[in-house]
Amino acid sequence: MNLNQLISLTILWLFRLLSKLIPFDFVKKMNKGKIILPFYHSICDQELKHIKHLYPIKSVREFEKDLDFLLKHYHPVLLTEKLSLDSNLKDQFLLSFDDGLKECYEIILPILLKKNLKAIFFINTGFLDNKALFYRFKISLIWEKILTDGLNPQQFGEITKQFNLENYREIENYLFSINWSNQHLLEPLASIINLDFEDYLKNSKPYLSSTQLEEMQELGFIIGGHSHTHPLYAKIDEQTRMNETEKCMEELEGYRNEFSVFSFPFSDHGIGTDQLLQMKEQAKLNYLFGSAGIRDEINLFHLQRIPMEKRTVEARSILCFQLLKYKFLSILGKNIVRRSQWN
């Protein structure tokens, strides 16, 4: 670890400590008028095997607690033409949910309706109606099966020989290093351990159906794009980015509300300003969303959201930390995300 990393870690640790001690209203006042954009993937009281080894999800109780906190300190806002510009918009929040999982309809929607809240649901069109499974979910399922059932000597032998690995640790590292471009490598692994992704899709139905999506849209929720098959945009070429974005937005045309919106799968890190403009123009988008926490962008159509899925951390601590960090970055003049022109 070099000195800069040590300083950054110390500052982050200090912010985490302060975020537990300082009254929230004080931190909020320091960043008056800043719109808060929290986002989640799923909410569920049961374990979801396809997510279990990727990130923690909150229970219904924890989610409702988050919402109550947000409603106590902020006003829910709908997407408007002037979302990031209107100086009259004070202390507002806008919720969103990525990946189009079935809990969005079965669990989240009833809670939002009960609390009279609206939100954006960002969908991967390649997975809608359980047509296919996100490669990261496949990774979680494979690892879960290996941990639960173990590998018999024949399976262990086949995996270690075929993939040139020596032990469980190496199998785990190899599995979790598989990415969008080489996701075909997951199939032989699944086959050795007798895991059938089609069966999982058919039996567990992890994604929303188009009928559910239609109903959500009719209830006034905004349906946005999240790419067709969820690649990390920084790791694919410009043409593939455009294909993924346009295909997704075209397939969502039937669910369009007043606004056409898109959230980057994983992250928008490393995406240049010209690419953002090209995506906005060609895919006819009103807003693009990232997941970098509370940060500003040069392009006002581009907004950054706050990841809320930290199982033991409630909304208060997450927001307090984000607001403190944002204030600190603002003082240093580093609150605006730096982007090159293209990549």
Interacting residues with Zn ion (CB under 5 A): 98-99, 265
> Closest CB to Zn ion among 123 and 294?
123
Nearest residue to the partner Zn ion, using Cβ: 98
Residue 164 CB coordination number (10 Å): 9
> Closest CB to Zn ion among 175 and 224?
224
User: Least distance in Å: CB of 264 to Zn ion?
Assistant: 8
Q: How many CA atoms lie within 13 A of 21 on its CB side?
A: 6
What is the DSSP annotation of 248-286? HHHHTGGG--S--EEE-SS--TT--HHHHHHHHHHTT-S
Is the separation of the CB atoms in 125 and 252 below 8 Å? yes
User: Least distance in Å: CB of 307 to Zn ion?
Assistant: 11
- Beta bridge mates, 214: none
Is the separation of the CB atoms in 311 and 56 below 8 Å? yes
User: Least distance in Å: CB of 122 to Zn ion?
Assistant: 7
Burial class of 273 by CB neighbour count within 10 A (0 to 12, 13 to 18, 19+) = middle
Grouping H, G, I as helix, E, B as strand and the rest as coil, residue 308 is coil
- Dist CA 188 CA 226 (whole Å): 28
> Closest CB to Zn ion among 28 and 136?
136
User: Least distance in Å: CB of 180 to Zn ion?
Assistant: 12
> Closest CB to Zn ion among 15 and 122?
122
> Closest CB to Zn ion among 136 and 325?
136
- Dist CA 325 CA 318 (whole Å): 11
> Closest CB to Zn ion among 97 and 321?
97
> Closest CB to Zn ion among 98 and 103?
98
> Closest CB to Zn ion among 225 and 265?
265
User: Least distance in Å: CB of 261 to Zn ion?
Assistant: 14
Burial class of 227 by CB neighbour count within 10 A (0 to 12, 13 to 18, 19+) = buried
Phi first, then psi: give them for residue 305, nearest 5 degrees. -110, 165
User: Least distance in Å: CB of 290 to Zn ion?
Assistant: 12
* Sign of the alpha-carbon dihedral angle for 250, 254, 257, 258: positive
User: Least distance in Å: CB of 219 to Zn ion?
Assistant: 22
- Dist CA 5 CA 322 (whole Å): 19
145, 182, 260 from 178: Cα distances, Å: 17, 6, 32
User: Least distance in Å: CB of 239 to Zn ion?
Assistant: 21
